[in-house]
A and B are shown apart, each in its own frame.
Chain A
Amino acid sequence: MASSTSPITEAKSNAIEVLSAAKTYAGGVKALLPVDLKVERGEFVTLLGPSGCGKSTLLKMIAGITQPSEGKVVLGRRETLPSSIKSNHPLDDQEQSNYSEPKLSFVFQSPTLMPWANVHKNVRLPLDLAGVPKEIADLQVGQVLETVGLTDFANALPRTLSGGMQMRVSIARGLVTKPDLLLMDEPFGALDEITRHKLDEELLALWEKNKFTVLFVTHSIHEAVFLSTRIIMMAARPGRVTEQFFVPEPYPRGSDFLVSNGFMQYAQRVQASLLKASV
């Protein structure tokens, strides 16, 4: 059920390969010790750990928002090299690479919507930036809004929506490009328990339907066990990966899974590991 060694997987089926990537900030603060991590296509992997364990840093390194100080990140075939041997302009590697890259979407901790644009235009943003013709883009936005249940709110401005609905818009924006890889940085962290669970369930349903890869950052044990096929445990000071757990429970996972003995056992193990990591 639980294992602490990395599984050896076929390189070609990996969505993410983190190869000894580490992050040291100017001034010598070690945000993240070298991490080796492989995520297979279609997996739902959660990064779980206390504050300051570098889970967001790792996620941002994988996205290419932050560059690793050493080691590298390979996405599909795209490589993110250490910042020391390339220009410091972020995301330059995308232009330098000759390889086709996986479609990546990032969902931030806050909804990060444009307050001046309505829901429809916010969701259409990635398509607009990519130069997708307006008619096609509008069609795709209509579909994704229906998927997340926001069709009636297409013309609403973000500030008129609740926190949960704003997050849903953010997820719709993440899904509209039909990504292969969805990176989520504590997306439901600021929501109340009921809304959070509802969105967890919706996310799982979308993942089962669309078969994309998800890397999900959270500090909630329950959320991690409920969602993931695998949990990567991290510890703080310095940030590092300590352990990993597989959750080989079948999907769809409903509310009954939350109250099952199996769920409790997973949660207890993860909690024990988290306590150990927090020392």
Chain B
Amino acid sequence: MEISLKNISQVIQKNILPVALGFSVLIGWEVLVEYFEVPPYLLPGPVLMFKTLWSDRLLLGSALWVTLKITFFSFCLATLIGVLLSFLLVQSKQIERALLPYAVLLQVTPIVAVAPLIIIWVKDTTLSLVICASLVALFPIISNTTLGLKSIDPDLMNYFKLNKAKRLQILFRLRIPSALPYFFGGLRISSGLALIGAVVAEFVAGTGGTGSGLAYQILQAGFQLNIPRMFAALLLISLSGIFLYSTMAWISKTALKDWHSSESSGDES
């Protein structure tokens, strides 16, 4: 009981500053908008933004659902492909040498430039958006997981070899656990990138007249000068990003907190 109370007070102490800062900014924003009588088509105040969020909740809610769905599928696809490619990359130096330049190429080519092509090529809009977003989210998974699979304590590797460990034993008992902290780092970056990829791809598709996600709503609201709705949609995108990042951070912390220094509090050791 005492411990849980202590934990709660710790959580409050940890979060009180960012929350207080957020509230002050919102209040300051509202006061300034009211004081200078800024018209809502230039800059709506937060009260109007939340009001619009409520009144347009059905429209924005379904748009949010579409965007989250694309983000989720592309994140899963990127994770799956990224992990498989990483396993392939660490099999031999030759494979790595052959594949890595193309992985980098994938990373440095702007998705905005590739998205129109993919949207033309792939008939199904959702699928084309998922492909675009996956391309954006893929690289951090590949680079982090590959690095992780290679970052093995050389003496521990020698120990496994001395004990005549088989390839699969080395993979499951040594390589994969060693790679986990790096893999989770990759997930954290990629979750945000999948959202960015989904939004960017929706923008491209939206300019072509198709789409139903949050980016499309932002575009439409822009055309109609419905700036409060634009802000409401933007707020939803930011909240989604924060939610995704915190979920990944939580998963990483839960999986690693016991043994990895990146996730355990300093006073433990």
Give residues in A with beta carbon < 8 Å to B: 63-65, 90-91, 94, 104, 106, 108-110, 112, 114-117, 125-126, 128-130, 157-160
- The answer, among A90, A94, A106, for a CB contact under 8 Å with B159, is A106
B156 nearest in chain A by CB position: A112
Min distance, Cβ A172 to any Cβ of chain B, angstroms: 14
- The distance in angstroms between the C-alpha atoms of A63 and B161, with both chains bound, is 11
CA distance in complex: A176, B169 (Å): 19
Instruction: Report if B155 contacts A (CB, 8 A).
Output: yes
Is B156 in contact with A129, judged by CB distance below 8 angstroms?
A: no
Complex Cα distance, B269 from A157, in Å, reads 11
Say how far B268's CB is from chain A's closest CB, in angstroms: 7
Q: Are B164 and A94 in contact (CB under 8 A)?
A: yes
Residue of A nearest to B261 (CB): A159
Residue numbers in B under 8 Å from A104 (CB-CB): 162
A115→B163 contact, CB < 8 A: no
Contacts of B260 in A (CB 8 A): 115-116
Interface contact B156-A114, CB-CB below 8 Å:
yes
Q: Determine whether the beta carbon of B155 is less than 8 Å from that of A110.
A: yes
Q: Enumerate chain A residues within 8 angstroms of B160, measured Cβ to Cβ.
A: 129
B162 touches A64 (CB 8 A): yes
B162: which of A91, A110, A114, A117 is its contact (CB, 8 Å)? A91
Complex Cα–Cα for A110 and B174 (A): 17
- Quick one: given A91-B164, A129-B164, A159-B269, are A112 and B159 in contact (CB under 8 Å)? yes
Task: Give the A-binding residues of B (Cβ under 8 A).
Answer: 153, 155-156, 158-165, 169, 173-174, 177, 180, 258-261, 264, 268-269
When distances are taken between beta carbons in the complex, the residues of chain A under 8 Å from B155 are 108-110, 112
Cα separation A109 to B154 with both chains bound (whole Å): 12
Whether A160 and B162, one on each chain, are in contact in the complex, defined by CB atoms closer than 8 angstroms, is no
| Interface hub of B165, B174, B259 (most chain A Cβ within 10 A) | B259
Ordered nearest first, which 3 A-B pairs have the shortest CB separation?
A112-B155, A129-B163, A115-B259
- C-alpha spacing A129/B163, complex, angstroms: 7
Interface centre among B156, B162, B261, B268 (most CB of A within 10 A): B162
Find the B residue at minimum CB distance from A89: B161
Q: A159-B261, A159-B269 are in contact. Are A112 and B162 (CB under 8 A)?
A: no
User: Across the interface, which residues of B come within 8 angstroms of A117, CB to CB?
Assistant: 177
Who on chain A is nearest to B162 by CB?
A: A106
Interface centre among A63, A65, A94 (most CB of B within 10 A): A65
A128, B158: Cα distance in complex, Å: 16
A157 touches B169 (CB 8 A): no
A130 and B153 in contact, given A157-B259, A160-B269 (Cβ under 8 angstroms): no
Set B153, B169, B264: member contacting A112, Cβ < 8 A: B153
Q: Contact: A116 with B158, CB < 8 Å?
A: no
Q: A65-B162, A114-B156 are in contact. List 14 more A-B contacts (CB 8 A).
A: A64-B162, A65-B161, A91-B164, A106-B158, A108-B158, A114-B177, A116-B177, A116-B180, A125-B163, A128-B173, A130-B163, A159-B259, A159-B268, A159-B269
Given A91-B164, A159-B269, A160-B268, are A65 and B259 neighbors across the interface (CB < 8 Å)? no
Contact of B163 among A109, A126, A158, A160 (CB under 8 A): A126
What B residues does A108 contact at CB under 8 A? Answer: 155, 158-159
Closest A residue to B269 using CB positions:
A159
User: Cβ of A116 and Cβ of B164 under 8 Å apart?
Assistant: no
A45 CB to closest chain B CB (Å) equals 20
Name the residue of chain A whose CB is nearest to the CB of B264: A159
> Which residues of A are found within 8 Å of B259, using beta-carbon distances?
115-116, 157-159
- Whether B162 lies near A63 (C-beta < 8 A) is yes
Chain A min CB distance to B4 (Å): 22
Chain A residue at minimal CB-CB distance from B159? A112
Q: How far is the CB of A212 from chain B (nearest CB, A)?
A: 16
Specify which chain A residues have a CB less than 8 angstroms from the CB of B269 in the assembled complex: 159-160
How many Å lie between the Cα of A104 and that of B173 in the bound state?
Answer: 21
> Complex: how many Å from CA A171 to CA B180?
27
A129 in contact with B268 (CB, 8 Å): no
Residue from the list A65, A129, A157 in contact with B258, Cβ < 8 A: A157
State how many angstroms separate the Cβ of A152 from the closest Cβ of chain B. Answer: 18
Chain B residues lying within 8 Å of A157, measured Cβ to Cβ, are 258-259
CB distance from B192 to the nearest CB of A (A): 26
For the complex, what is the distance from the CA of A89 to the CA of B162, rounded to whole Å?
12
Cβ contacts A to B, 22 pairs, < 8 Å: A65-B158, A91-B162, A106-B158, A109-B155, A110-B155, A112-B153, A112-B155, A114-B173, A114-B174, A114-B177, A115-B260, A116-B177, A116-B180, A116-B258, A116-B260, A125-B163, A129-B160, A129-B169, A129-B173, A158-B259, A159-B259, A160-B269
